[in-house]
A and B are shown apart, each in its own frame.
Chain A
Amino acid sequence: MRIFFTGVGGQGTLLATRLVGEAALEEGLPVVVSEIHGMAQRGGVVESAVAVGNLSSPTIADGEADILLAFEPLEALRALPKCHGRTVVVANTVPIVPFTVAVGQSTYPSMELIRSSLEAKVARVIWVDAVQTARKSGSERGANMVMVGVLAGTGKIPVSGKSWRKAMERVLPGKVLEANWKAFQSGFDLGAPGSE
């Protein structure tokens, strides 16, 4: 199971990636996580990956992502080459306008184009307003946990609820734990099969 994460610097994708990795480890599954730090984080695209199961490569080549977890709709479409026909995509619907669009150098693609381009190619796309969902569960800051919650809810990764909880205790200890757990759970319900 190869999971490709994409988002924009500041969205907490690396923390989400780490949480998925810890949960798999907690479950006793072989796991490799890869992150890119540095230059990418000044408002640019941030990509990371988790491989769960009998896999060794830390990165995901084009056409090899089984799951795409996209924290931003434009970045979901940009990552389409990572997908194949059986890929499940979980994508946030809330855009973050890139600088090039903000200053009028280029145009943000319409949501219709983003939706149809993805849905025409992959097996299933779960669209989530992660910001709204997080806000309802307490704080917008939990949007990244909503996204991981949706992924967990799909049941695509064989990780039990207990392991998700233990992983979160490890990654986000202290007073932020419960708020993040709540956000995760509200995402979980959205990802569960038959919830659409």
Chain B
Amino acid sequence: MDELLVPASNRKHLLLGNEAVVRGAMEGNVRFVAAYPGTPSSEIIDRFSRLAEEAGVYVEYSVNEKVSMETACAAALSGVRSLCSMKHVGLNVAADAFMTLAYVGVRAGMVMVVADDPSLHSSQNEQDNRAYAKMAGVPMLEPSTPEEAREMTLSGLDLSEAYRIPCMLRTTTRVNHSRGPVRLGELPREKPTASFTKDPFNLVVVPMVGRKLRLALMEKEKMLREEAEKSPFNFVTGQGENGIITSGVSWLYVQDALRDLGLEGKVKVLKLGFTHPMPRKLVGNFLRGVGKVLVVEELEPFLEEAVKGIAQEEEIPVKIVGKGEQWIPRAFELDSVKVKRAVARCFQVPYDPPTIFSAPELPARPPTLCPGCPHRATYFSVRKVFGDEAVYPTDIGCYTLGVLPPLRMADFLVCMGSSVSTAGGFSRVLDRPVVAFIGDSTFFHGGIPGLINAVSHDHRFLLVILDNGTTAMTGHQPHPGVEWTRRGRIEPAVRIEDVVRGCGVKKVALVNPLQMKKTQEVLEDLRRQMKDPGVSVLIAKSPCPLFERRMTGKKQKIVFKVQGDCDRCKRCLRELGCPAFVWEASAAGEECIRINEALCNGCAFCAQMCPSIKPEKIEG
């Protein structure tokens, strides 16, 4: 039995925050889940996918976040509790649905998990999505721990159903990817029956319906504020003249700071878990009881501005501090030391910050494309043909690592799908060749409208679709073009080539990038054709080796070795940058190039660029 489906018991389980969300959803009888993976949210959909059959839950990897939200809301509208999850920037993609779904609402409970990534561990920005809850007017819960993630997912479903509005569960990386003891509650057994009653004057948002729903949303917000006032997720601990207001993971840093500073129980702490709509009375009463308040939160001054507004409106003479260089930083994650410093300063208690030892300057260890990764081969050949002159807009996935030396094959990136549309813009104004890169999953997610646009406006660029058969970066999730599954090879639901042709692209070529000569010939040909206007597409198709091995169980048969006739030109190091290559001293004391057998994946690409590299059979 899946660990997340075991019956309620007294024993606590050490669950990841994301697993706790799944358990909470199961306890809340969620039967419909849709998501596009994205760090730090991916384990939510992955864990749902694993237990789907056993638990009787419909789970789909949607093509993007907007699609996932729309798909899941239809289930909730039909009386089936649903959940969608996404990383913070995924909500930008889903925002169109999000803003108006708040108006229309749902019938059964619906929770939207939105995972922010302060410090940009795996993201392109660190936007604070709490602003979205306020903008849309939906209720928002912010867990601090895995246990709260479970409770709030369950409670968010009830709240959503009671007020017929989706509920946002806003997490951060340190909640999603923390493990903590979680109590397992009861799992309901009754299966909901779906039904739909036509009600177009509440469900079809034409302006006259929208106007009515706008007013209804404001009424809901008032009632939800009352819920926040009495929510058990908002509570006060400690006592004294000094106050702290905090939420999410910051609450944990506050606890450690107070303990270490000897202030445990001596500072009044308002811990907010239900943060939109803001419980105004609760905050007002808290402010009246203290002389000075420090607001401790990551990223934007979301709580701080609300608290200052309440103090002003209620005419409460209290000093409130929060964001500031000497106080709580706005950029990046907090930690207990940053919080200790601010707390000590605010309440004037002594604090000796730890002496920080410094390490000498050390060689960096950046993440790199794996040995045998077909993206490296594609980049090598494209650079060979298009050189430094071309502009290379890129996109989001493993292949973004191509930005690093020695490949340096990325010139511009803002978001999922931006490679294709920006290539159009660049090619219109620049007198240089433009070659854009996008991965297979990202192409389905956000690349197709840009491609249609490029075709219809005759933009002149080459789009290279790096098709490795999976969503590799986030952990090998499926997408519509997947051919390999654990059950063997399948006919893909949607072929990339068909989509490209369907978008109106006339010049389409398909290569296996691990075949160097053929790939470069095709690229030369495409380059010549770029004299004429119009977009051309090269599909560079070769499976992610990690994924392929996992799916097929295929064993590696050969490794490659550098022979004695190597002239040490170092082209392999300078141009290819495969992590299996090592520059070292030989037994005779001479510098030489070696291929680390344990890392070599046997892809054979290097042997096509250098005659001194030869295959060798793996014994046994």
Contact = CB atoms under 8 A, between A and B. Distances in A.
A177 interface: no
Most buried by B among A54, A57, A84: A57
A80 to B, nearest CB: 4
B440 interface: no
Most buried by B among A35, A102, A105: A102
Given A43-B367, A100-B366, A103-B406, A62 B356 contact: yes
A43 B252 contact: no
A8 interface: yes
B362 A78 contact: yes
A177 to B, nearest CB: 17
Most buried by A among B40, B178, B577: B178
Contact of A44 (B335, B366, B406): B366
Contact of A36 (B177, B370, B583): B177
Contacts of B223: none
Contact of B366 (A54, A59, A99): A99
B177 A106 contact: no
B336 interface: yes
Contacts of A32: 145, 178-180, 252
B180 A37 contact: no
Contact of A18 (B179, B181, B398): B179
Nearest to B13: A25
A98 interface: yes
Contact of A31 (B181, B370, B405): B181
A39 interface: yes
B256 A55 contact: yes
Contact of A33 (B14, B252, B362, B370): B14
Q: What 10 A-B pairs are tightest by C-beta distance, nearest first?
A: A63-B354, A38-B39, A44-B367, A38-B122, A42-B367, A33-B179, A106-B363, A61-B337, A61-B335, A98-B365
Contacts of B579: 43, 99, 102
Interface string B110-121: 000000000001
B614 interface: no
A38 B474 contact: yes
B368 interface: yes
B510 interface: no
Contacts of B363: 74, 98, 100-101, 105-109
Contacts of A41: 367
B430 interface: no
Contacts of B121: 36, 38-40
B595 to A, nearest CB: 10
B354 A77 contact: no
A68 to B, nearest CB: 11
Interface in A12-55: 18, 21-22, 25, 30-45, 54-55
Contacts of B5: none
Contacts of A108: 363
A35 B249 CA distance: 14
B237 to A, nearest CB: 12
A33 B180 contact: yes
Contacts of A156: none
B365 A45 contact: yes
B586 to A, nearest CB: 14
B161 interface: no
Secondary structure dominating the interface of B: loop
20 contacts: A25-B12, A25-B181, A33-B14, A38-B39, A40-B122, A43-B365, A44-B367, A45-B365, A55-B256, A56-B253, A58-B249, A61-B335, A78-B359, A78-B362, A79-B359, A84-B355, A99-B577, A105-B405, A106-B363, A109-B360
B174 to A, nearest CB: 5
A111 interface: no
A37 B177 contact: yes
A55 B180 CA distance: 12
B14 to A, nearest CB: 5
Contacts of B596: 102
Given A33-B178, A63-B354, A77-B359, A38 B40 contact: yes
Contacts of A21: 14, 179
Contacts of A75: 365
Nearest to A9: B367
A36 B229 CA distance: 35
Contacts of A59: 174, 333, 335-336
A98 B336 CA distance: 31
Contacts of B196: none
A22 B181 CA distance: 9
A59 B43 CA distance: 20
Contacts of B354: 61-64, 84
A81 interface: yes
A59 B14 CA distance: 17
B358 interface: yes
